[in-house]
Amino acid sequence: MLIAIVEDEKDILNLISLHLKKSGFNVKEFQNGKDFLNYLKNDIPNLIILDLMLPDIDGLEICKYLKKEIKYSNIPTIILTAKGEEVDKILGLELGADDYITKPFSIKEVIARVKAVLRRYEVKVNILEIGNIVKVDLDKYEVYVKGEKINLTTTEFNILKILLSKKGWVFSREKILEELWQGEKAVIDRTVDVHIKNLREKLKEGGKFIVNVRGVGYKIEE
């Protein structure tokens, strides 16, 4: 887990960084907005702690930018505000920040907030739904149809996961095989059809969401 901290006050930066490292996180430190935005071009942290009062760019502008860009909009963000910056705090949350911490803070609180936001976020991204009928728990490898757990083979589950990685996108049979077997070309094309047929049957009412696009492949359509 990599956490980026953007904070120009060196003492605060060091304090948060030190304690996050102690808690087992990897940390990247930035003292201005420009360095941080440059860094983002090459790396995506798991969470951002963002001070709103920076010397070069307004933290709220950074927040707005992050939530606007698809590449960054899913990175959980905790904003740091000073006492008396109530308006900024509210604006930050409106702009999509996940939580805020008011200075002065207790370091224990910061760590607790970071963990809580990450937890919330994991829950959010690791359970996927298809049309309110199918629920897929990517962590537990469990699939539910209308609340009832169904048993899929590993291959069926993985095909579902591939299709779910981009809802609405058409995946060719070749692409599905490539993702499944990572280059082991021992499997013939048609096996995908067999797995999908079984997957559809097991998903019962949810099976209709897996759509065959003639001559191209498969996609999930709600």
Contacts to Ca ion by CB under 5 A: 8, 51, 53
Quick one: tokens of 13? 């930066």
Give 85 or 156: the residue with its C-beta nearer to Ca ion.
85
CB of 157 to Ca ion, least distance (A): 47
CB of 68 to Ca ion, least distance (A): 23
Distance CA 209, CA 81 (A): 45
Distance CA 78, CA 93 (A): 9
Give 27 or 177: the residue with its C-beta nearer to Ca ion.
27
Give 15 or 53: the residue with its C-beta nearer to Ca ion.
53
Which residues are 28's β-sheet partners?
Answer: 4
Give 53 or 145: the residue with its C-beta nearer to Ca ion.
53
CB of 34 to Ca ion, least distance (A): 14
Give 55 or 215: the residue with its C-beta nearer to Ca ion.
55
Count Cβ atoms below 10 Å from residue 131 Cβ, excluding itself.
12
- Closest CA relative to residue 55, chosen from 75, 90, 30, 28: 30
Distance CA 100, CA 17 (A): 17
Quick one: tokens of 204? 């019962």
CB of 79 to Ca ion, least distance (A): 11
CB of 84 to Ca ion, least distance (A): 13
Distance CA 218, CA 153 (A): 19
- The CB-nearest residue to Ca ion is 53
